[in-house]
Structure formats: C-alpha cells, structure tokens
A and B are shown apart, each in its own frame.
Chain A
Amino acid sequence: MDKKIRILIGKPGLDGHDRGVKVVAAALRDSGIEVIYTGLHQTCESIVEAAIQEDVDIIGLSILSGAHMTIFPKIINLLKQREAEDIIVIGGGIIPEEDIKKLNEMGVKKLFTPGTSTKEIIKYVKSIVQKT
C-alpha cells in the first residue's frame, strides 16, 4: 500500500523525438508515481539493465521512428533472459493498428497512440500495478 509505483521511461534507439515522453514522464511524476527517465539514445540492453537495477514495476518506451517492431520484441526477450518478465512493458508513439495487435500478442501490455491524454495513461498505469 505504501509502496509507490515505479516506472522506467525510456527512449531506445536513435529517435530524438522527446516531446511526448517528457510530457508523459512529468505527468506521471506529478501524479505521485516514481519516474526514472533514461534520456535519449539508449540501447535495449541498457534499458533492461536499468529497469532491473531500479526495481521498477513498469517499463514505458517511446518510439516514433518506426523501429517498434525491432525494439519491443528485443526488450521482451531480454527481460525473459534476465528472468524479469514480471516487469510490465508498455509504450507509445507512431505505431499502426496492425503492429499494435502483433506487439500485444508478443507481450507488450499496452500501446498509446498520439492524442492520448496523460490522465488516461496515469489511470492505466495505476490500474495495472494494483492488479498485480
């Protein structure tokens, strides 16, 4: 009950579009969630490492570069290898419907598209962590 939700917000790969990720990170922080923001240009390995080190409940990735079909599966696999599948993976960005479905099947819990309100994201994050 006292334990705050901890989320690692990451920008994997070369994508420099960080407007959305910063707005989301600040909104999550202001809602009382513990936010660790990695900054830009992270490798999948460094994100998974940081998530384990920081003992987070969730990893949230922002990808607007079109590399989502490479990066999300890689993160999921790395979490499996490290036996850290309990960390929930969510994300947001420029991602077509068809790919969202495929990524959900691979284990990405939720993907948000442009136009989503921060309230909706906060509500979602709080709901999934309580359930677990």
Chain B
Amino acid sequence: MNKEVWKEKQKTCKERDFRFTTVSDLPVKPLYLPDDIRDFDYDKKLSYPGEFPFTRGVYTNMYRGRLWTMRQFSGFGTAKDTNERYKYLLKYGQTGLSVAFDFPTLYGRDSDDPFSQGEVGKCGVAIDTLRDMEILFDGIPLDKISTSMTINPPAAILLAMYIVVGEKQGVPAEVLTGTIQNDMLKEYQAQKTWIYPPEPSLRIITDILEYCSEHVPKWNTISISGYHIREAGSTALQELAFTLANGLTYVEYGIKAGLSVDKFAPRLSFFFNSHLDFFEEIAKYRAARRIWAKVMHDKYRSQNPRSYLMRFHTQTAGCTLTAQQPENNIIRTAFQALAAVLGGTQSLHTNSMDETYALPTERAVKIALRTQQLIAHETGAANTIDPLGGSYYVEALTDELEKRTYEYFDKIDTLGGVVPAIEKGFFQREISRSAYEYQRALEHKEKYHVGINIFEEEEGADIEILKIPEEIEKNQIEELKEVKKQRNSAKVKRALKQLHDAARNGNNLMPRILDCVREYATLGEMCSTLKEEFGIYHEPIIF
C-alpha cells in the first residue's frame, strides 16, 4: 500500500477523544515512518555503543558485560538505624549504597540548631560529626562498595568525612569510589537547598574538582541532576536542557579556575528522572548522551574520549506516585525503571509504593529492589544493547528533543548564561509554569493519572507506614554533646580558623576541611565558618 493512501485511510478511522501528546506535550503522530527520520546518517547519529556520539550507550558491551548498579537511596533516624538498613539492602542483593541525609544535614546545620527542631532524622539520616559517619559505615568496607551521597552545599564536608572513614578502615582515598551530588545550580533552580550565594558555591565546587582530580581520582565529583528539576514540575525537555546547560556551566567554571577540561570532565556524572511517558524518557536519555558528547567535543575541544561519556544514575519519579491506591505505585515504578534500563542507565533507584506517606518500610523497599532484579533477570531487556535504536518513533523523538535542547541553550545564552538566568528567575518561572500547566491538564482530564482523575476509589489506603521515633532528636543531640566533650577544643578552634583563612585567601578548602573533620568539628561549625566569609543566599519569590 502507498503511504499517502494509508494516511488518508487512518484519518477516516474513529479516534479516542484524547489529545495525543507526550506527558511533556510534544505532539505524537499515529504512526512513525522512515521519512520521520529522513537524512538519517547511522554513523553520525548513532554509531556503536561505546563510540562517539554514544547515542546507543556509553560502554561497548553495556549490560551484557555488567548490569547497572542497583542503588536504593536510603537514610533515616540515626546513623545506626541507617547502617542496619544498608546491611539489609546489601543482604537482599543491592549492589551500591546511596545516602539520604536529613534536612539539617542537607543545610549544613547541627541537630541542636533551633532550625533543626522536628527535622532530625526525619527524611534522612542525621550527621553532625565524623563520629556519625563512622557508625554509618561500620562493617561496610569502603574499598568494596561504591557510595553515592545526595549532598550539595556541604558536599565538601561529607566527602571529607567519607575520606577519613576510609583512612580509619585502612582504605586510601585513591581507591574510594562513589559520587557526591554537589550540583548547586539545580538547587537554586529547583531543589532549593542552599547556604551560600552562587559564586562562592561554584568556588567550593571547583575546589572539589581540583582536589579530587589529584587525590580521589575515582570519585564522581558532581552528579549533575535533572531529577529535582523534573520533580519540581518541569517537562522532560526542560529537564534535559537545563541539566545539560548546568553541566556545561561547571565545565566553564572548571576551565576558568585553570583546570584542564580533560582532567576533571571524565569525573562528571549525571542524574535523571524517569517519569510516566515511556518512550519520551528513553529518547531523553539517548539525546542527552549525544548532545553531551557533541558539545564536549565541538565546543570545549576535549581530547579525552572519557570526557564525552555521559554516565548517569536514574531514579523513578516520586512526583508520579499517588497516595490513592498505593499498590499501583509498584507498577508505575516498574514501567519507569524499564524505561531507564532501555535508556542505558548506569545505576538505578526504584521508589517504594508507600513514599507518598512516609519513608519506605523494609517490605516496600524490598519490592522496589526486586522490581529491578526482575527487569535484569526475567524480562530479557538487558540481553541486547539499545534494543529501541532504529525505532522510527524513538529516533524521531530523540532528534526532536535534541533540536529543542539547542533552542533552550540559545535562550539561556541570550540571558547571559546559567547564573544570570537563575538571578533573573528564568528557570524558576519556567518550572513553575510547567508544574501549573500539568496540574491544570490533570484537572481538565487532558492527561490521566490512575486513582487521581480516572478510576478513582472512595476508600482510603490501608498500608503499613514507617515511623521515625520522636526520641531520635533528643538522643542525637545527647550524642553530639558527648562528642564535643571528648574532642580537643583548642585543636578544633585552630582548624576552623585555618578553614576561615583559606576561604578568605582563595586556597583550596578541601585540605582545611579534612583537618576540621579529623578533629571532630561539627558540620554546623564548618558551615557557619564559611558563611562568615561567603554570606547566605536569598531567593527571589516567584509563584
């Protein structure tokens, strides 16, 4: 049959009363054909896995060689509680650790800070000093496992604590593997965990890049994160474009600080969301790899092929989970996890069904982990590399996302770059607008969410909920007092003074932070010291 004849025939068919678009509102045709990917040059657009521009994957043999790392983000209560949860997850086959810190830790405040009241150990583990980190990794050999830490303004301090725990275990910093998130740009745009203004924050980040390239060479120094941009309400396209723009900004700051791009760029890694729209997500990962490789090669003249590799972690979309009919979340998460695998992720976190109520129970988190193991060992999805490569639809979507990303790059350039665009509220407004649009679309039933605006049920959910005992805060504060009593306060004072001096005179902060950590200076003491020099950030209010 002739193509045009088929198209005419299709137009006469009955169609569901629905606006056919992706979840991010890109138009979707009824059928994709060879001419949707016209001028398709296989070698230029796709090439082979592990080969430029890496559209099909960053490694030659992908999951046939080694499966993705199954890394559940986890932390609650005290370091001891979380250490037990890690051992539980490792026992059931998890292959990497990922630390969730409580809010005070994320903001560089101690458990006894007035602002920490009610928050200690609630949505992550409470860390005040090196002592807590020693307990957190007790019995977990740091030379055998990689650890990701979701930490931003105080990233240098938590990394320093990890390095010192390694020293105490007899593991030198050169062999440590893992990641700190350390992505401040997306904090100002979306996640909103900040301490200092953008410029000093970027200075701390370049200090970390410099220090690690010498002393902790296997560490991923920034995890450039689209996850939070998406959770804050962006579209897939905005997640992709803003994350890449942020990544390229770190490259520019590194170069400006006098570092050679090929020395630090190979240690940059990425972190994406996996949302509801299966094919759009897969196309997003493929486009991301291609754009990163091209820009690093063409614009930054990188010579080291490892600088071209966009290695990324994926987490399924927390914002898509529903409090209504929570068991459905298991299924949602499974589809999202499969999209991440088909998109070639290097590691994966699967959300638990109960997370719209509280942090997950052991049972819920085990089902989430098992979901990944089912994909890995039962579905066959990991048997061949980039199985959707060559799909007319997926390739067309990949091209479309790539094209529109460059359009966003141009817009950001006209605003003067990422930092000025943050100061003008550009990203914040874009994200808020998309969040509002999506909510409006749901309420007008232009988009569906099962249990929310279709197939709703009256009765509430009856599931087990994890409870964080209120005594944790009191106990943690007691422990902190005890550590302060035992340490040598003259040495702490001296180390903090030297940190302050380094902040002022521009020397790399990492060696001074390591000294403070070794003397059991608290997280809050170190951050307050830096605040004196760097000041604090105030957000323009936009809604």
Residues of A at the B interface (CB closer than 8 Å) are 13-19, 21-23, 25-27, 37, 39-41, 43, 64-67, 69-71, 94-98, 113-115, 117-119
Contact = CB atoms under 8 A, between A and B. Distances in A.
Interface in B431-451: 432, 435-436, 439, 442-443, 449, 451
B539 interface: yes
Contact of A94 (B107, B118, B356): B356
In the A-B complex, the 8 residue pairs with the closest CB atoms: A70-B118, A16-B192, A66-B122, A67-B118, A14-B103, A22-B543, A39-B541, A113-B323
B465 interface: yes
A93 to B, nearest CB: 10
B358 interface: yes
Contact of A114 (B106, B117, B192, B356): B356
Contact of B470 (A13, A69, A97): A69
Interface in B319-375: 319, 321-324, 355-359
Interface string B106-119: 11010000011111
Contact of B452 (A19, A39, A115): A115
Contacts of B122: 65-67
Contact of A23 (B123, B231, B356, B435): B435
Contacts of A16: 191-193
Q: Which of B192, B232, B453 has the most CB of A within 10 A?
A: B192
A114 B104 contact: no
B26 interface: no
B468 interface: yes
A65 B115 CA distance: 13
Nearest to B355: A94
Contacts of B53: none
B103 A65 contact: yes
Interface string B443-485: 1000001011100000010000100101000000000000000
A23 B439 contact: yes
Contacts of B432: 22-23, 26
A40 B107 CA distance: 13
Nearest to A112: B323
A67 B231 contact: no
Contacts of A26: 432, 436, 543
Contacts of B198: none
Contact of A37 (B356, B358, B541): B541
B541 A98 contact: no
B116 A14 contact: yes
A65 B119 contact: yes
Contacts, number: 102
Contact of A66 (B109, B119, B435): B119
B322 A115 contact: yes
A19 B543 contact: no
B357 A66 contact: no
B191 to A, nearest CB: 6
Nearest to A72: B118
Given A13-B118, A15-B119, A67-B122, 14 more contacts: A14-B106, A16-B191, A22-B432, A22-B436, A23-B233, A23-B432, A23-B435, A23-B439, A25-B543, A37-B541, A43-B115, A66-B119, A66-B359, A69-B118
Contacts of A25: 543
Contacts of A70: 117-119
Interface in B105-143: 106-107, 109, 115-119, 122-123
B264 to A, nearest CB: 28
A41 B322 CA distance: 26
B439 A96 contact: no
A127 B104 CA distance: 37
Contacts of A40: 192, 539
B439 A118 contact: yes
Contacts of B104: 14
Nearest to B540: A39
Nearest to B442: A117
Contacts of B233: 19, 23
A94 B543 contact: no
Contacts of A23: 233, 432, 435-436, 439
Given A27-B439, A94-B356, A114 B321 contact: yes
A5 B453 CA distance: 28
23 contacts: A13-B103, A13-B115, A13-B119, A14-B116, A15-B103, A16-B193, A19-B232, A22-B432, A23-B439, A25-B543, A26-B436, A26-B543, A37-B543, A43-B115, A65-B119, A66-B122, A66-B468, A94-B357, A97-B357, A114-B322, A114-B356, A115-B323, A118-B443
A71 B118 contact: yes
A32 B453 CA distance: 24
Most buried by A among B107, B122, B452: B122
A78 B289 CA distance: 53
B123 A66 contact: yes
Interface string B311-325: 000000001011110
A19 B123 contact: no
